[in-house]
Structure 1
């Protein structure tokens, strides 16, 4: 018997038991779809995280007070960074281009009965260039605003729309912590960063923030939430981190553990990439269990099929079919089930990834490696789990089989 005839007989047999064949393929379909979807969504999450960090500004470093261990031990953020540290970094570190110190606090902003609780950022004129923000209307904070502790504010685009609706906000007065602030500008749209809408923030001079909103919290000067630093270029990032570390250790007279943490975009992306890779592999492994279950289902159904078709096997052997012919037919049936299930599962997985890309901000995409791996594994599973039933059918004694006729 040639391969073509074996394939035709296998297809005819599977068509005769459509419901059973469909249920047998279900495990393979779910496994393939889940593997492709999980890998595609995982890679999309990585690309989304990378784009989010790139939006923070090119070649940016972030200096935060305390160590991760210290911040975990207490709910209060350590007050170890002050404005003078930021000024020292700007003037004494040659690999640094600009420095933007920041103080952040949630406060209520009010305008004519409309109010909302948003992030208030006290900063300096260098903030837009360091963090890649632009002003869409009006102007940003000036050096004179900082020196004179002026009560001026720049609104994020969404915050301006929420408070002023169709009015022009520039020149109007809003209230922050029961103090009146003049709106001098509106920022261009920036988008969300890891779930936080950067367009709903308000920006005021750092000195005004310290003296009027948060108050003096450190005996050594104006304490900061963190410091954003832009290196001169990508090649200067590591050197800038090293030089800033040495400068702050000297200024803080540190001889043991640092009381600050410096993190670069590259390090943050690496951490997120490692986490997302681990989660993707874990989810893909869990999804792969469905492929294993599907393979066991194929073997189970094929064993049942051998039992049901004992007479057919006996008759075929009696008229000249060899063990190889019987083995080939049952192996082909198992491979058709797994291959067809793999193709359907691949289609569902690709469709799921495309749906995620349309409905969410994740830049999900279909990974060719994942498709090849899922289809290859499903085909291999059909081949592997089809061996036992096929061998059992091929070794069946025709005399014993014909006795049941």
Structure 2
């Protein structure tokens, strides 16, 4: 019972001492407050970036594969879409791979699209009707490209909702004529909102029949035929995705007469999620480390102030020792003072960080979030820093010679 009472007395004495120097205590806690708030905020932003990327990738579909032309060497040389993936490859995949349900070849380029006095530089894709179900897109108004449009290479275009707002403002778009590279296209449909993927706003894109793209925009290569930007492929189901990837890879290796390195890549949503998780996880860890530096700086601030406090309270320490206080009592008091400063600073910093994370999630598209594990961990780290950096001042105070200390009276 006496030990508990002694501990309570030491705690109350520590609180009284801190309250007697309120401004100094607040300024000492400021470093820990900033450190904790930084850790909470930066980790929340990192996790928000990871969730945003995962949400965007989930829109691609769990059983969708993408065949991209070129290997790492060609991409390093600055060739965005090397001419080694052609329409014949797309047809072969559709006919010869049993685990594939739909195949959607695509040619993408950037062009200026004009209507009256309005214009915008956008990504225009030459597609087939299979694009809509494979990529899980929907039509909001009008219709999508059909097989008759494709066979006849009609000059029709489907535009995203954001592009519609840019070009047509409040007026209707269906049935109007837009201009793309001196060619006129009739707007037949408006896509439903889809959002952005890796910075590419899909709601600003335009879509025309693939045959129209070849005959009026990009042209046909006499050697390679119709070169594709990439191929979107829908597997029969999610379980067959792995088998489809294996079969597509083998088929294209045979068609391209590949012996060593592939001149294409087959990617799935799972592959992209793994890459994104690795990158964003590393980013979150780096941000947490940056915030951790602020915590260490706050700990050094506590140690510095406590050392000053030891020098100022030399008489008090000598008097208490002369009245029977032991070294452990002096040590505990200074450690508790450091701990109180660190824990209170950690709590205030955590609340500040949580408020900042909430504001970011409400004011931006980034779904910033923070878990209870991180909150508990940061407060515990704050307390640990208070104890660690409070040891040196506490030991110095505990080892003061009472006779030397009393001489200053």
Normalised to the residue count of structure 1, the TM-score between the two structures is 0.97
In the alignment, structure 1 residue 361 sits paired with structure 2 residue 365: yes
1:3-402 equivalences under 5 Å are 3-75=7-79, 77-217=81-221, 219-402=223-406
CA contact (8 A) 2:123 2:205 kept: yes
Q: Deviations over 1:319-350 (max 9, x none)?
A: 22222221221111111111111111111111
Distance 1:326 1:129, change over 3 A: same
Distance in 2 of aligned mates of 1:361 and 1:170: 30
SS at 2:360 equivalent: helix
Distance 1:141 1:181, change over 3 A: same
CA contact (8 A) 1:36 1:367 kept: no
**How many pairs align?**
405
CA contact (8 A) 2:174 2:189 kept: yes
SS at 1:2 equivalent: helix
Distance in 1 of aligned mates of 2:347 and 2:237: 48
Distance in 1 of aligned mates of 2:341 and 2:95: 70
Distance in 2 of aligned mates of 1:75 and 1:223: 13
Shift of 1:375: 0.7
SS at 1:182 equivalent: strand
Instruction: Specify every segment of 5 or more residues in structure 2 that has no aligned partner in the other structure, as ranges.
Output: none
Q: Deviations over 1:274-297 (max 9, x none)?
A: 111112111211211222222222
SS at 1:7 equivalent: helix
Q: Give the superposed CA RMSD.
A: 1.4
Normalised to the residue count of structure 2, the TM-score between the two structures is 0.96
CA contact (8 A) 1:58 1:230 kept: no
Question: Runs of at least 4 residues of structure 1 off by over 4 A?
Answer: none
SS at 2:65 equivalent: strand
Shift of 1:218: 5.2
Instruction: Specify every segment of 5 or more residues in structure 1 that has no aligned partner in the other structure, as ranges.
Output: none
